Amino acid sequence: MKTTIYYFSGTGNSLKIARDLTNKLDECELVPIAKIWQMESLASTSEKIGFVFPLYFLGLPKIIFDFITKIDIDKSNYFFAVVTKGGDFDCVALHQLEEILKSKSKTLNAGFFIRMPANFYHNDPQTLQKQIFENSIREIERISTIINNNQKHLKIELSERNRKSFEKHNYKFHKTVYKSDELFYVDENCTQCGTCEKICPVNNIKLVEGVPQWQHKCQRCAACINYCPEKSIQYSDVKLKNQRYHHPEITVQDIISQKSIKE
């Protein structure tokens, strides 16, 4: 039974999880959403479909919402999702995904959250990161067994009040995310190396006379911030200082390779 995992990743956490899970599943291929999401025609012929992505603002990243809403999944019959998160809350992502699939007369059969190191407003200590990585390995083993056996595993335990509140917060994020890049800037440490332009999954950064300029189609993945070799990209008045994180096994080239050809 062929399986396709569609993933999106900014700083490597979701890519690492998607790769590890792909290696544990039968006849599984890994497809980067950022490479295909703007194609006019999107369809999957796989019997099983999985989505691996980070939790953004209590729910789905906008690119994930748009992609899953758009893709034709008529030929698929088993759906699962793995959501990476930087904190303890599970929030509303699985509920949103379930609702999108229901609108296509499909069902979310299995859904999971995996705690991974935080990558924006703060960083987890190295000792905690090690524990998180070790736990993620165990989680992948558990999740892969469930998926290989076509089992159902979905627990969405939210009160109606919390669900509506979380959804409202997330959809507000969707409406404003493109222009959130107006708060990005580079400090005096920028060497005009162009890493940020190359790495942005949605081609949202252009160098103008050597200086990064954001083009207002941002997804807030934080790849530019966390992979900047000089730690020169800043966001608003957030005190990032030298705090940066990307998964230690995911390289700059790994993130670049997930994107579409530059427009």
Taking CA atoms, 126 is separated from 116, 119, 230, 233, in Å, by 12, 13, 21, 22
- Asked if residues 227 and 88 have their Cβ atoms less than 8 Å apart, the reply is no
Delimit the domains of the chain by residue range.
Answer: 3-166, 177-256
Q: What is the pLDDT of residue 242?
A: 59
Confidence at 239, pLDDT banded by 50, 70, 90: low
Distance CA 85, CA 157 (A): 17
Q: What is the pLDDT of residue 45?
A: 93
Longest dimension (CA), the chain: 55
Instruction: Tell me the average pLDDT of the chain.
Output: 93
Distance CA 233, CA 240 (A): 9
CATH code 3.40.50.1000 for 3-166: no
Mean per-residue pLDDT, 19-35: 97
Query: What digits encode the pLDDT tens for the residues 78-122?
Result: 999 999 999 887 889 999 999 999 999 999 999 999 999 998 767
How many residues are there in the chain? 263
Residue 150 parent element (H or E): none
Q: What is the pLDDT of residue 78?
A: 98
Q: What is the pLDDT of residue 162?
A: 85
Please give the CATH topology (third level) of the domain spanning 177-256.
Alpha-Beta Plaits (3.30.70)
Query: What predicted TM-score, i.e. pTM, was given to this entire model?
Result: 0.95
